């Protein structure tokens, strides 16, 4: 079971083709002299060309082992946490120790109250990293893998609580959310990128883990979400 009260509560901070015509000619000349192409990982030679799905090296977004809130993937800005509906609820996030089979992970501790105003407001909290500049193309990857754990505190999380992995893709179709099911123990979650339309996956501008506790009007809840080993393969 994850450490319920991480020793470190250090808050996270809030903290890019050009033509190569000459090379193309040279490459063309080289290709013309080559009788059979060299096929990369995941592909095999069939006749005079490679067939199959090229393998892409995994992209580590963050494993938190460097002890800072800056993702390992340079395209992403520091992790940050937030609440929504409304946005001023008490949430904290930072380095968690231990992590999932490792020294460090990241935690999001939250205490949420749906404003007592006669109707549910859809109150929730999230832990996210946004792409620092522009968008990042994740369409070549097949799976987003992450380790997560979720602890219900007091008052407990409603049974209807869902956790969403959201890919921000504001340049195309907004955000795509895939529901995951964390447990109180560290568990590995695999999100198939086939669930993310390519029009989004090719233009991702953020990655977000969002808790939606489905609180009734005026209802309160608290809990901690842990995250570790976030990568694409
Ligand atoms: Ca870790
Ligand atoms: Ca309300």
* pLDDT band with cut points at 50, 70 and 90 for residue 40: low
**Is residue 122 a part of any domain in this protein?**
yes
Q: Is residue 4 situated within a structural domain? A: no
CB-count exposure of residue 163 (10 Å: 0-12, 13-18, 19+): buried
pLDDT per position as a tens digit, 152-197: 999 999 999 999 999 998 776 778 889 998 899 999 999 999 999 9
* pLDDT at residue 26, rounded to an integer: 35
Classify residue 11: in a domain, yes or no. no
Which pLDDT does position 214 carry in this prediction? Answer: 95
- Final residue before a domain boundary, out of 52, 71, 92: 52
For residues 177 and 122, give the distance between their C-alpha atoms in angstroms, rounded to a whole number: 16
Distance (angstroms) between ligand 1 centre and the Cα of 148 equals 11
Span from the CA of 79 to the centroid of ligand 1 (angstroms): 14
Centroid of ligand 2 to alpha carbon of 201 (angstroms):
34
Ligand 2 is an ion; its neighbours by CB within 5 Å are 114-115, 117, 121, 217
Please check whether residues 123 and 146 belong to one and the same domain: yes
Residue 37 and residue 69 in one domain: no
- Note the pLDDT of residue 146: 97
Residue 205, pLDDT > 80, answer yes
What share of the chain in percent tops pLDDT 70?
80
How many Å lie between the centroid of ligand 1 and the Cα of residue 195? 26
Residues 26 and 83 in one domain: no
Q: What is the mean pLDDT of residues 194-216?
A: 93
Whether residue 120 sits in one domain with residue 200: yes
- Ligand 1 centroid vs 231 CA: distance in angstroms? 11
What pLDDT is recorded for position 54? 66
114 domain residue, yes or no:
yes
What is the whole-number distance in angstroms between the Cα of residue 222 and the centre of ligand 2? 16
Distance 32 CA to ligand 1 centre (A): 48
Same structural domain for residues 106 and 201?
A: yes
Give, in order, the Cα–Cα distances in Å from 140 to each of 99, 133, 135, 166. Answer: 28, 20, 14, 18
The pLDDT confidence band at residue 13, using thresholds 50, 70 and 90, is very low
Task: Select from 52, 74, 91 the last residue of a domain.
Answer: 52
CATH of the domain at 108: 2.60.120.260
Interval 25-40 mean pLDDT: 51
209 domain residue, yes or no:
yes
25 or 130, greater pLDDT: 130
Q: What is the mean pLDDT of the chain?
A: 84
When divided into structural domains, the chain yields a total of 2
164 alpha carbon – ligand 2 mean position (Å): 21
d(CA 32, CA 90): 64
User: Can you give the pLDDT at residue 117?
Assistant: 98
Based on the fold, state whether residues 40 and 84 are members of the same structural domain. no
Q: Is 160 domain-assigned?
A: yes
* Ligand 2 midpoint to CA 122 (Å): 8
Query: Above 70 in pLDDT, residue 126?
Result: yes
Q: Could you tell me if 41 and 93 lie in one domain?
A: no
Q: Whole domain around residue 188: which residue ranges? A: 59-232
First to last CA, the chain: 27
Together in a domain, 93 and 148: yes
**Residues 27 and 95 reside in one and the same domain:** no
State residue 159 phi and psi, 5-degree precision. Answer: -60, -25
Is 15 within a domain? no
Q: Are 203 and 122 in contact (CB under 8 A)?
A: no
Query: What does the pLDDT average to over 4-30?
Result: 37
Give residue 41's pLDDT. Answer: 63
Which ligand is located closest to the Cα atom of residue 147? 1
Ligand lying nearest the CA atom of residue 85: 2
Same domain, 156 and 196: yes
Give mean pLDDT, residues 208-212.
96
Please indicate, yes or no, whether residues 137 and 46 belong to a single structural domain of this protein. Answer: no
Tell me, yes or no, whether 158 and 142 share the same domain: yes
Neighbours of ion ligand 1 (CB under 5 A): 63-64, 99, 102, 104, 228
In this prediction, residues 62-78 reach a mean pLDDT of 96
Q: What is the pTM of this model?
A: 0.77
What's 173's DSSP letter? T
Which ligand has its closest atom nearest to the C-alpha of 219? 2
What does the buried/exposed string (b/e) look like for 106-130 if buried means 16 or more CB atoms within 10 Å of the residue's CB?
bbbbbbbbbeeeeeebebbbbbbbb
pLDDT band at 81 (very low <50, low <70, confident <90, very high): very high
7 occurs within a structural domain: no
Looking at the CA of 66, name the nearest ligand: 1
Ligand nearest to the CA of 60: 1
């Amino acid at each position: 079971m994850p450490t319920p009260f991480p020793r470190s509560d250090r808050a996270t901070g809030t903290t890019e083709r050009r033509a190569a015509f000459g090379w193309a000619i040279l490459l063309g000349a080289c290709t013309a002299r080559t009788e059979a192409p060299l096929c990369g990982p995941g592909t095999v030679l069939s006749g005079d060309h490679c067939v199959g799905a090229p393998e892409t090296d995994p992209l580590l977004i963050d494993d938190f082992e460097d002890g800072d809130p800056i993702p390992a993937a340079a395209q992403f800005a520091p992790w940050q946490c937030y609440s929504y509906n409304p946005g001023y609820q008490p949430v904290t996030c930072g380095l968690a120790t231990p992590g999932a089979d490792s020294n460090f992970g990241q935690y999001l501790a939250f205490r949420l109250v749906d404003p007592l105003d006669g109707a549910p407001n859809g109150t929730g909290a999230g832990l996210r990293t946004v792409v620092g500049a522009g968008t990042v193309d994740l369409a070549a990857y097949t799976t987003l893998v992450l380790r997560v754990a979720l602890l219900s505190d007091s008052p407990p999380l409603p049974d209807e609580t869902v956790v969403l992995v959201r890919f921000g893709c504001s340049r195309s179709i907004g955000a795509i959310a895939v529901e995951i099911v964390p447990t109180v123990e560290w568990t590995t979650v695999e999100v198939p990128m086939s669930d993310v339309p390519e029009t989004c996956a090719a233009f991702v501008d953020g990655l977000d883990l969002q808790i939606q506790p489905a609180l009734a009007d005026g209802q309160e809840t608290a809990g901690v979400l842990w995250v570790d080993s976030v990568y694409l393969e």
